[in-house]
């Protein structure tokens, strides 16, 4: 076919599509949903009194190691307020104790499972709600994300949380695929 004719035909076709179709809403991405979940966990967790933020202080949400969320989690955290406290995102390459001491919630993803476990062990010194993702590896924090039937779900290790003094609300436990008591 003559290219000119083809061009004209295609142009007409494209225009028809543009007119006919309403803007489609993109299905949420897995990571975007996780990024929306994580700041919300703050509401459903009770920290020991010593760990609770002072007046005007935020809850610290730490991304330790690899960051699969980027700006998504910053935006999600910015829209979250828990009892008058904001949620502030901090990122750390590793778990050097001084740096992560203030983390209320920590999403942990090391270079591999062993690195993640090492980070989780360091965080066990303090009452931090640790979160991991099946996508990053097998190492599990108190909350471990997994994709179940095309939905973002999680497992909860309530025993570990209780030992660290982190109380997880029944509303969150009810959503878990599995709870380790």
Partner 1 sequence: MRTRWCVSLLLPLTAIPAPAWANDEQQQNLSSLSIEELAQLPVRSASKAEEPLSAAPTALYVITAEDLARANGTSLPEVLRLAPNLHVEKLSATQTSIAARGFAGFETSNKLLVLIDGRSIYSTLHSGVFWELHSPLLEDLQQIEVISGPGGTLYGPNAVNGVINILSKDAADTQGALVRGTASANERTAGARYGFKLGDAGAVRVYANYFDREDTPTATGFGPALDESIRGWQAGFRADLGDDASHVTLQGDVFDNDTFIIPGEGNHGYNLLGRWSRDVSGNASVQFQGYYDYYQRRSLLTTDRLETADFEGQLNWRTGSHSLVGGIGIRTTRDEFINDLNAFQLDPRRDRLWIANGFVQDKFALSTRVSVIAGVKLEGSSFTGLEVLPNLRFAWQPNDRTLFWTSVSRAVRTPSRIDRNLTEPTFLAKAPDFASENLVAVEAGYRGQPGRNTTLSVSLYFNRYEKLRAVAFIGSPFPLQLNNDLEGDEYGVEAWGTQQLTPWWRVSAGATVLKRDFGVRPGGTDIGGAASIGRDPGYNLSLRSQVTLPQGITFDAGLRAVDSLPNPHRDGYVEADARLGWRVSDAVELYVVGDNLLHASHVESNDVQRTALIERNISLGARLRF
* Interface with partner 1 (CB under 8 A): 3, 6-7, 10-11, 14, 17-18, 21, 23-33, 35-37, 39-41, 44, 63, 65-68, 70-72, 75-76, 79-80, 91, 93-94, 110-112, 114-115, 118, 135, 147, 150-153, 171-172, 175
Beta-bridge partners for 131:
107, 143
Q: Which is nearer to partner 1, 55 or 71 (CB)?
A: 71
Q: Which is nearer to partner 1, 95 or 130 (CB)?
A: 95
- Is 118:132 a contact under the CB 8 Å cutoff? no
| Lookup: tokens for 53 | 């933020």
Kindly give, in sequence order, each residue whose CB lies less than 8 Å from that of residue 170, ignoring residues fewer than 6 positions away.
none
**Residue in the block written with tokens 């330790």:** 64
- Is 142:130 a contact under the CB 8 Å cutoff? yes
Residue 61 phi, psi (nearest 5)? -105, 115
As measured in angstroms, the least distance from the Cβ of 50 to partner 1 is 26
As measured in angstroms, the least distance from the Cβ of 25 to partner 1 is 7
Q: Which is nearer to partner 1, 64 or 127 (CB)?
A: 64
As measured in angstroms, the least distance from the Cβ of 159 to partner 1 is 21
As measured in angstroms, the least distance from the Cβ of 54 to partner 1 is 25
d(Cα 75, Cα 36) in Å, to the nearest integer?
A: 9
Q: Which is nearer to partner 1, 22 or 50 (CB)?
A: 22
As measured in angstroms, the least distance from the Cβ of 8 to partner 1 is 11
Half-sphere exposure of 103 (CA within 13 A, CB side): 31
């Amino acid at each position: 076919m003559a290219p000119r004719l083809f061009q004209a035909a295609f142009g007409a076709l494209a225009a028809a599509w543009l007119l006919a179709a309403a803007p489609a809403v993109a299905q949420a991405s897995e990571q975007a949903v996780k990024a929306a979940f994580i700041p919300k966990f703050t509401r459903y967790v009770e920290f020991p009194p010593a760990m609770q933020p002072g007046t005007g202080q935020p809850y610290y949400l730490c991304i330790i190691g690899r960051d699969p969320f980027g700006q998504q989690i910053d935006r999600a955290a910015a829209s979250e307020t828990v009892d008058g406290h904001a949620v502030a995102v901090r990122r750390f390459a590793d778990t050097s104790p001084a740096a992560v001491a203030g983390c209320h919630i920590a999403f942990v993803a090391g270079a591999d499972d062993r690195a993640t476990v090492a980070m989780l062990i360091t965080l066990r010194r303090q009452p931090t709600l640790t979160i991991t993702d099946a996508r990053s590896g097998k190492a599990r924090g108190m909350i471990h994300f997994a994709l179940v039937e095309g939905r973002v779900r999680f497992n909860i290790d309530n025993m570990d949380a209780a030992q660290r003094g982190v109380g997880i609300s029944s509303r969150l436990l009810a959503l878990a695929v599995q709870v380790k008591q």
